[in-house]
Amino acid sequence: MKCQFCNKDRVDRVFYINWMGTVYQVPVCADCLQKMWNQAAATGKTEEFKNYTGWWPGKRDPRHLGDRAFPEKAVPGLIRRRRLAALRIRLTEAAETENYEEAAKLRDDIAVMEKEVCTHGN
C-alpha cells in the first residue's frame, strides 16, 4: 500500500474516514504523518489532531507496550484455570457417555482444583 500523499511504498498508519456514508481508506507514511502533526502544531490544533487520528508523536503502539504477552505472575493462574476448564469438559463428556466412575473422579478433581484456585486467589 502506498502513502496517499507522497506515494512511498512504506505505510505506517491507515486511517478510515467516513465521508457522507462512504468509508475511505487513507494510508499515510511516517514522514507525512509527522508533517501533518507539525502543521497542526503550528496552527494550535494538536488536540483536534489527536482526537481525529488517535496518533501523536511519541505515542506508543499498544502492541509494543510490554515485553511479554503475560506477566510471569499470571501464568500459573492461567494454567490452573485452563486445566480446570479441560476437566469440566471431560466431566461433561463422561456424564454424556454414562461413564459415572470417571465422572465422579473428575468431579472430585475439579473440587480440589477449585479449592486451590480460591486459596491462591487466581
Query: What are the residue ranges spanned by the domains of the chain?
Result: 13-64, 74-120
pLDDT in tens, 38-88: 998 899 888 887 777 776 676 666 555 555 555 666 677 778 888 888 999
Q: For residue 37, which of 13, 18, 17, 64 has the smallest C-alpha distance?
A: 13
b/e string for 17-51 if b means 16 or more Cβ within 10 A?
A: eeeeeeeeeebbbeebbeeebeebeeeeeeeebee
| pTM score over 0.75 | no
* Mean pLDDT confidence for 14-29: 82
Query: Taking 60 as the threshold, does the pLDDT of residue 18 lie above it?
Result: yes
Query: Taking 70 as the threshold, does the pLDDT of residue 12 lie above it?
Result: yes
pLDDT at residue 91, rounded to an integer? 92
pLDDT in tens, 23-50: 888 888 888 888 888 998 899 888 887 7
